[in-house]
Chain A
Amino acid sequence: MSVKSPLIFKHISIRKMPGFTNGLGGYDKLSPQINVVAGPNASGKSSSARVIQQLLWHTHTSGLQAEASAAIGDEPWIFKIDSSFISVQRNGQDEPLAALPPAEAQGRYMLALHELVTENENELARKIVRESIGGYDIDEAASKLGYSDTIRKQTVKEYSDYEKADGVFKQILREHNDLKDDENHLENLTHERDKAENSARLAQLYKLVKDFLEARKDLETKEERLGGFPAALEKTNGNEYSEILELEEGLEKTSHELERAKAGLKVKGERLSALDLPPNGIDDKLLNELEKRIENIEDLDRNISNTSEKKQEAFIKEQEALKQLDHTPGLSDFNGLILPDVAELDRFLQKANRVIIEKQQWDARIHELQTAVDDREVADPETLSEGIKSLSYWLQEQKGTAGMPSWLLPAMIGITILTGLLAIFAGWAWMAGILLAALSGWLATRKNSSSLPGIRQKDFSNTGLQEPHEWNTESVSERLQQLVEELGLAKEMGKNRDKISDYEKQRGQTLVELQQVDRVRDEWLEKLKTVPADYAGLYWFLVNARVWHQQHTEKEALAANIKILKQKYMHELGKINDLLQQCNVEAVSDTVQAKTTWKKLNQDENTRRNLFGETERLTSEISERQDDLQRNTVKLEAIYNRLAVDPGNKEEIRRLVEKLDNYRKVSQDFYEASILVNDRRKTLEKHPLYPGLADEIETTAMENAIEKLAKYTGEAEQLKELNKRINEIQALVNNKKKGHNLEDAMAGRDDALDRLGQLFDVNLASVTGNLIAEHLTKETSEQNRPAVFKRAGELLNRITMGRYELKLRENGEPAFRAYDTMNSSGLNLSELSTGTRIQLLLAVRLAFIETQETTVKLPVLADELLANSDDVRATAIIRALTEISREGRQIFYFTAQQDEVARWEEYLAGKNGTDFKIIRLSGNDNEHVKHQHTKPSPAFNYEVASPSGKDYNAYGKTIGVHPFDPLTDKPSQLHLWYLLNKADLLHSWLKIGITSYGQLKSYLHFNGKAEGLSTHQWAEMTNMVTILEHYSELYRIGRPKPVDRHILELSKAVNDTFIDDVSLLLDQLSGNPEKLLQALDNRAVSGFRKSKIDDLREYLTGEGYLDSRPIIPESDLNLRMNAFISRQDLDAGKAEAFLKRVMKQPPRDSLTD
């Protein structure tokens, strides 16, 4: 084995790592042998161990910033990590550390208690073996990978799936093969079918032949029957016999009727001759004229008679009127009296009557008025008015009269006047009523008043009217009322006088008119003479004269009329005789005779006409009967002729007719049979096989046809079955041709086969892995293990100060024993103490490590190996590690247990020559950020300098208070120095490891004892931190946060080509991302593309490293803080002093300037 130089770390600085963004500070002046790193949990022990490994192997450097100086032999080495940037330098020159064990083996240098503690012997042996081959477990790996030399059985699913799929495929394939056989037989089947089809057609033909022959035979039979009937039946319609009977009967009847008509004709001729009328009779026109004229003379006759009677009546009335006139001066006296005169006389008498009556009416009216006027004596109206006026004034002047209100008197007067007026216009009854009511009212209220003479009394007296009984109001009023009444009466009487005067005038006119009437009367009297001289006599005369005049006139008129009627009568009679003369009739002389003559003449003419009609009818009938006789005789003869029967042989006809029905039936049968024969022949001849077999068929007898029909029918019966079979096969074939069952089955089988192949692949892989594992087991046991165990034995011996040696006995499975040199006895592993076991495993581990190291011995890291160890075991471990360190290997021992530190110190105190260092981690110096790396490093111990009389500021410098950076630091990280002003109190917190506000808060939260800290103080501290938090928030607005190489790597905008250059630039810009982007925009890094700058900008903005908001000006910031502080329960002065203290040594504001 070559000489190996140990690699000794001298200094390690950890600036940043995942979980410790501010890093851990530095491990300075490390011991080349044993370094015990002690600190509470989460203080960075394990992280430090990982950093040490990363400084060597660089396997997980992302986000890590660390640097270390070391020595290998005399040569200095520097190791640097900045995330992906790795630098290893020997003597200031880049050079990788060669001959390092593989990175995968770095775990071998990390000793953990759980790996070394085991109770079970077999487990221990296994561990020894495992350690001897570098900590690998081949069996475990093989087991985990499922390696085996087993061949999968046929029961596996993949195989059974294949079998199933193959079975399906074969089954369908068999079906296809069977169908293919069927298809191959199709040709034979088709041939048989063709043959059967031909037979079917022949059977069809001979069936037609048979049918035709049958029909033809039937026709012959019916033809023979038809020949047995008389030929005449063919012309017989079946009605002939009855027709003959009917014709014969008709002939007889017609003969009788002919004879009877001839006889009648003779009688009628004789009667006609007996009438004495013109040969052609008398014209209807003449008869009608004659009748009319006879009616005329009858009317004339009646008129003459009636007029004569009226004339007689008029004569009688005329005589009676004369008698009434009471004188018989003779009718000549009145000859001058014509009817208009009578009418005029009548009008005169009516006028005279009216005038007389009018005169009488005027007389009566005048008399009535005159009587009324004459009965009363009344003063004249003017006088009465004066009187009324005087009395009225008098009454008005009675003002102040006791008992009467001042308004009453005028009212009374007004009423009185109104009453008067009403009396005039509405009548006295009204007036009296109202007046009485008024007076009653007034009198009821009146009191006695004295009557005083006055001018009104004098005025009244001057009128002459009667004065009131007394001149008091009552009497005056009464008198006034009387005067008013008199005034009304006087005015009415005045009106009556006016009417009388008017009537008088009209009466005068009537009298004038009466005088004129009297004069006219006198003229009539003069004219009529004998008439009485008064108007009544004149009237009487007038009435009777009018009667006489009417009757006389009528009598004269009737006499004239009678004369005219008689003239007409004679004239008409002459005409009648003229007409009678045309009829050879004697003339008549009066109406009765004329009428009698006309009636007879008329009656004869009617008789003549009837006879003449009868004669003509009979003549026509005779002609018709003669025609009937001839026609029917011809018909009768025709029947006999048509049926070729002797005329009159009626019986023969009857016999023929009786045979007719039977004949017709036979004839119809024959006809139908002949049609059938024709149809069947046509059908037969249309059959496609007929042309070829026509000659044979025409000579084929019925028996032959039947025989062939049976033969071919039998042969054709297979056709249906053959067709069915062929169709079935063809349908199946067509169906299969369109289907894909076999195709699917093949695909299914192929898929199953593929899965089986995959199983084979898995199986073969498993077998292959098993082979390799077996080889590895063999290889490691044969080649490596002996050397490792030999070295392990040596190491165990040294660790146990020569007490134990490791003995290996390998016979198949390795077996271990420890040889106790003190007792010179071999011990089974189970007999070893726990400490010795650990030492044994440490020895094997170190032995393997040494076997894999070639030129450099690397540090070993142990993590709390002594935890829960008893003294014996702890001493054993410490001894083992100490011995290992003496081999030149640097040891790092990490622990959180103070007692372990004590054990180390205790053990090493007595070991002169063993260099060691105890390093204590407080865990409170992790607030460093990269850009502050120039600040003092934190101290790695709990020892805190005492204030010892220093002032507070000086003490702050002593303990190295880190400035607070509002950009990156959280208020919870604020050092307590800023919040307290008592150095002793601060010292007490620092001594127990509490440096920041966040720690103190947590400590108090978990009920930590806070000696010397009052509630008020704590509240004040909390308020100050709240103010700082708000200040930080405002301060961060618009300001960029620092970044480092790791951030650049995370952005993925800076690739490996540019990361070094950009990181360097970033360092020069103190991590200011804003300035970095500006520099990149200005092409500070050549070739770095704009798109990547944009990507980086986007990333930094998205992650919050860049803030696009404007920075709040200081004045504004102070204003906002003032406002905020005003809401806090803290004195503004204190708050300001606190913030000033925090900001007094503000961190370099290099990011924003």
Chain B
Amino acid sequence: MKILATSDLHLGKRSSEVPLTEKESSTRYTWEQIVDGCLNQAVDVVLLAGDIVDRDNRFFEAVGPLQAGLEKLDRAGITVIITAGNHDYDVLPAITGNNSFENVHILGHNGEWEVKTITRNNQTVQFVGWSFPRQYVPESPLVNFTSQGLDPNFPAIGIFHGDAFSREKKYGPFDLNNLLNKDVDAWIIGHIHKPTILHGQNPFVCYPGSPHALSPKETGLHSPLMLTVSGKHKMEVKPVIFSPVRYENISVNITGAKNEDSFRDIITSSLRDHARAITTELEKVRFLIYDIKLEGRHRDVNVLSRWAANVPDYRPDVESATIVLPRKVINNAEPSVENLHELASQPSPAGIVAGTILALREGRSSELLESLRERWYSEREKLVNAVTYQPLSLNDADNGTLHEEADRYILRECNRLLNEFINQQAN
């Protein structure tokens, strides 16, 4: 039995940084691709593990394409099994509630686990699912899970929406260990957009992730999974139907950039090389969007920042229909210092900065660094609480993240300062 599994499509949204005029930027495009793909590949069952509809646009612009797609699948006799997520807990039942689709089923509509058994070509697979009954669910969805109703002779696939990492306690937090002993062969879970395999086999536990990359944070491959079930504990998994938008972070060493032309050459060739390296995954990718981190050493890291301002205009050609869009450049390059340790020994501002860079680079702490971090937290909090930045909702960062962030900022500015100091000497 061929089962296509995905989640977090967020119909009603578009990928950021892609021109609005491009149809591929919308998740509806990917939904249509998924539907057509299911028809073309003779899929038997489609699993949608929640957040198929984006809450901010859940009434019409998402529902229209969703209904059209479900209708198409229904007409083709393809079974669709949906569990609702925190975004669409109230929308999905409204769409399918009037039994207008014979082959579309919402499992666990009331927050109760529900089993649906599907038999195709003498192959029977049981689907046990749970849906968000409301927007926030602070308890684990597995609390009231029971194997009752599951026939141990047939493979079973669990499907629900929940947070394995418990970053926030309101989206069905659960413990992975609780999934491992439930007499279920595979768990398809929604909520985390990045495709993630939590447990390799027996059972196979994964977040298939969003099939359509929506923001630069969602880097890497995004694709529904095709599960081919041929018996109890017999299942193959592979990604299919790639997102038309792909975000990537890439580090580029610009040590050899003597001028803006060579800088551009380095950037474009790095992007080209990276795109070529993943070219087999780009067949369906229309937009490949890069965030670029500049690394390496340069005589003037600040002039790099000026050059970097033009990077979004670069359009490196790749040998496919994919359009490469450099989005943003993070300048982490270091100034060209002959011997940072020697410099660090100098009783000068450059020496102090060099010492701080070395400490950050080597993971050492220092009184100065500690002092800087403390003050940085305070300054950041002021910024975060400023009215100007309220829309960013940055209050919820945890300490670990903040620590890394502080070091990242301090290191970057130390490099920039050191660059200036060296320039002062040179002049």
Chain A residues with a Cβ under 8 A of chain B: 57, 59, 100-105, 107-108, 133-138, 140-142, 144-145, 147, 149, 151-154, 156, 159, 162, 166, 169, 173, 176-177, 179-180, 183, 733-734, 736-744, 746-748, 750-751, 753-754, 756-760, 763-765, 767-769, 771-773, 775-776, 779-780, 783-784, 787-788, 848, 851-852, 854
Chain B nearest Cβ from A59, distance in angstroms: 6
**Extra contacts besides A140-B424, A156-B388 (6): CB < 8 Å:** A102-B354, A136-B349, A737-B67, A740-B26, A771-B372, A852-B345
**B412: Cβ under 8 A from any A Cβ:** yes
| Docked pose: A754 CA to B17 CA in angstroms | 9
Q: Is B16 in contact with A102, judged by CB distance below 8 angstroms? A: no
**B339: Cβ under 8 A from any A Cβ:** yes
Chain B nearest Cβ from A138, distance in angstroms: 5
Q: Is B376 in contact with A136, judged by CB distance below 8 angstroms? A: no
A108, A141, A742, A848: which contacts B61 (Cβ < 8 A)?
A742
Question: A737 — nearest CB in chain B belongs to which residue?
Answer: B64
**B391: Cβ under 8 A from any A Cβ:** yes
Contact string, B110-142, partner A, CB cutoff 8 A, digits 1/0?
000000000000000000000000000000000
Q: Is B59 in contact with A145, judged by CB distance below 8 angstroms? A: no
Contact string, B185-215, partner A, CB cutoff 8 A, digits 1/0?
0000000000000000000000000000001
Question: A748 — nearest CB in chain B belongs to which residue?
Answer: B20
**B70: Cβ under 8 A from any A Cβ:** no
Q: Is A107 in contact with B425, judged by CB distance below 8 angstroms? A: yes
Of the listed residues A748, A750, A775, the one surrounded by the most CB atoms of chain B closer than 10 A to its CB is: A775
Q: Is B61 in contact with A765, judged by CB distance below 8 angstroms? A: no
- Chain B residue numbers with a CB within 8 Å of A779 are 349, 352, 368
B60, B63, B346, B412: which contacts A105 (Cβ < 8 A)?
B346
- Chain B residue numbers with a CB within 8 Å of A748 are 20
Q: Is B60 in contact with A100, judged by CB distance below 8 angstroms? A: no
Chain B nearest Cβ from A760, distance in angstroms: 5
Q: How many residues of B contact A (CB 8 A)?
A: 68
Interface of B is mostly: helix
Q: Is A141 in contact with B328, judged by CB distance below 8 angstroms? A: no
| Docked pose: A104 CA to B418 CA in angstroms | 10
| Docked pose: A1149 CA to B171 CA in angstroms | 87
Chain A nearest Cβ from B267, distance in angstroms: 19
Given contacts A102-B339, A767-B383, contact A751 B391 (CB under 8 A): no
**B180: Cβ under 8 A from any A Cβ:** no
| Docked pose: A176 CA to B57 CA in angstroms | 8
**B416: Cβ under 8 A from any A Cβ:** yes
Of the listed residues A104, A107, A151, A743, the one surrounded by the most CB atoms of chain B closer than 10 A to its CB is: A104
| Docked pose: A159 CA to B391 CA in angstroms | 9
- Chain A residue numbers with a CB within 8 Å of B342 are 100-103
Of the listed residues A156, A737, A758, the one surrounded by the most CB atoms of chain B closer than 10 A to its CB is: A737
| Docked pose: A767 CA to B339 CA in angstroms | 28
Q: Is A176 in contact with B379, judged by CB distance below 8 angstroms? A: no
**B307: Cβ under 8 A from any A Cβ:** no
Of the listed residues B16, B356, B368, the one surrounded by the most CB atoms of chain A closer than 10 A to its CB is: B16
Q: Is B349 in contact with A166, judged by CB distance below 8 angstroms? A: no
- Chain A residue numbers with a CB within 8 Å of B69 are none
- Chain A residue numbers with a CB within 8 Å of B309 are none
- Chain B residue numbers with a CB within 8 Å of A747 are 13-16, 20, 25
- Chain A residue numbers with a CB within 8 Å of B424 are 135-137, 140-141
Q: Is B413 in contact with A768, judged by CB distance below 8 angstroms? A: yes
**B392: Cβ under 8 A from any A Cβ:** yes
Chain A nearest Cβ from B342, distance in angstroms: 4
6 closest A-B pairs by CB? A737-B64, A134-B348, A736-B60, A103-B338, A141-B420, A102-B343
Q: Is A105 in contact with B425, judged by CB distance below 8 angstroms? A: yes
Chain B nearest Cβ from A103, distance in angstroms: 4
Of the listed residues A179, A746, A780, A784, the one surrounded by the most CB atoms of chain B closer than 10 A to its CB is: A746
Given contacts A754-B16, A767-B379, contact A742 B421 (CB under 8 A): no
Q: Is B388 in contact with A102, judged by CB distance below 8 angstroms? A: no
- Chain A residue numbers with a CB within 8 Å of B16 are 747, 750-751, 754
Q: Is A134 in contact with B347, judged by CB distance below 8 angstroms? A: yes
- Chain A residue numbers with a CB within 8 Å of B394 are 760
- Chain B residue numbers with a CB within 8 Å of A742 are 12, 56-57, 60-61
| Docked pose: A137 CA to B349 CA in angstroms | 8
| Docked pose: A57 CA to B343 CA in angstroms | 13
Contact string, B55-95, partner A, CB cutoff 8 A, digits 1/0?
01101110111010000000000000000000000000000
Contact string, B236-257, partner A, CB cutoff 8 A, digits 1/0?
0000000000000000000000
Q: Is B26 in contact with A151, judged by CB distance below 8 angstroms? A: no
Contact string, B399-427, partner A, CB cutoff 8 A, digits 1/0?
00000000001101110110011101110
Q: Is B409 in contact with A736, judged by CB distance below 8 angstroms? A: no
- Chain A residue numbers with a CB within 8 Å of B64 are 734, 736-738
30 interchain pairs, CB-CB under 8 A: A57-B338, A100-B342, A104-B337, A104-B425, A105-B346, A135-B424, A136-B421, A138-B349, A144-B420, A147-B413, A154-B387, A159-B391, A176-B57, A736-B60, A739-B61, A742-B57, A743-B26, A747-B13, A754-B16, A758-B328, A764-B409, A768-B376, A768-B379, A769-B413, A769-B416, A775-B368, A776-B352, A779-B349, A780-B352, A783-B347
A107, A180, A756: which contacts B389 (Cβ < 8 A)?
A756
Q: Is A771 in contact with B375, judged by CB distance below 8 angstroms? A: yes
| Docked pose: A756 CA to B386 CA in angstroms | 12
- Chain B residue numbers with a CB within 8 Å of A788 are 347
| Docked pose: A134 CA to B343 CA in angstroms | 11
Q: Is A173 in contact with B56, judged by CB distance below 8 angstroms? A: yes
Question: A736 — nearest CB in chain B belongs to which residue?
Answer: B60
- Chain A residue numbers with a CB within 8 Å of B425 are 104-105, 107-108, 135-136
- Chain B residue numbers with a CB within 8 Å of A740 are 14, 26, 28, 61
| Docked pose: A1103 CA to B330 CA in angstroms | 40
Q: Is A743 in contact with B349, judged by CB distance below 8 angstroms? A: no
Q: Is A772 in contact with B414, judged by CB distance below 8 angstroms? A: yes
| Docked pose: A418 CA to B227 CA in angstroms | 151
- Chain B residue numbers with a CB within 8 Å of A141 are 349, 417, 420-421, 424
- Chain A residue numbers with a CB within 8 Å of B302 are 144-145
Q: Is B20 in contact with A771, judged by CB distance below 8 angstroms? A: no
Contact string, B295-310, partner A, CB cutoff 8 A, digits 1/0?
0000000100000000
Q: Is B351 in contact with A134, judged by CB distance below 8 angstroms? A: yes
Chain A nearest Cβ from B393, distance in angstroms: 9
- Chain B residue numbers with a CB within 8 Å of A149 are 379
- Chain A residue numbers with a CB within 8 Å of B422 are 104
| Docked pose: A788 CA to B348 CA in angstroms | 11
Of the listed residues A107, A743, A763, the one surrounded by the most CB atoms of chain B closer than 10 A to its CB is: A743
Question: B54 — nearest CB in chain A belongs to which residue?
Answer: A746
- Chain A residue numbers with a CB within 8 Å of B391 are 159, 162, 166, 753, 756
**B380: Cβ under 8 A from any A Cβ:** yes
**B282: Cβ under 8 A from any A Cβ:** no
Chain B nearest Cβ from A1025, distance in angstroms: 40
Q: Is B413 in contact with A772, judged by CB distance below 8 angstroms? A: yes
Chain B nearest Cβ from A185, distance in angstroms: 14
Question: A145 — nearest CB in chain B belongs to which residue?
Answer: B416
| Docked pose: A173 CA to B28 CA in angstroms | 18
Q: Is B215 in contact with A750, judged by CB distance below 8 angstroms? A: yes
| Docked pose: A779 CA to B15 CA in angstroms | 47
Given contacts A105-B425, A739-B60, A764-B383, contact A751 B414 (CB under 8 A): no
Question: A769 — nearest CB in chain B belongs to which residue?
Answer: B413
Question: A738 — nearest CB in chain B belongs to which residue?
Answer: B64
**B382: Cβ under 8 A from any A Cβ:** yes
Of the listed residues B14, B356, B380, the one surrounded by the most CB atoms of chain A closer than 10 A to its CB is: B14
| Docked pose: A102 CA to B389 CA in angstroms | 42
B14, B351, B371: which contacts A746 (Cβ < 8 A)?
B14
List which B4-22 residues lie within 8 A (CB) of chain A.
Answer: 12-17, 20
- Chain A residue numbers with a CB within 8 Å of B17 are 751, 754
- Chain A residue numbers with a CB within 8 Å of B226 are none
| Docked pose: A177 CA to B354 CA in angstroms | 57
**B350: Cβ under 8 A from any A Cβ:** yes
| Docked pose: A740 CA to B14 CA in angstroms | 10
**B271: Cβ under 8 A from any A Cβ:** no
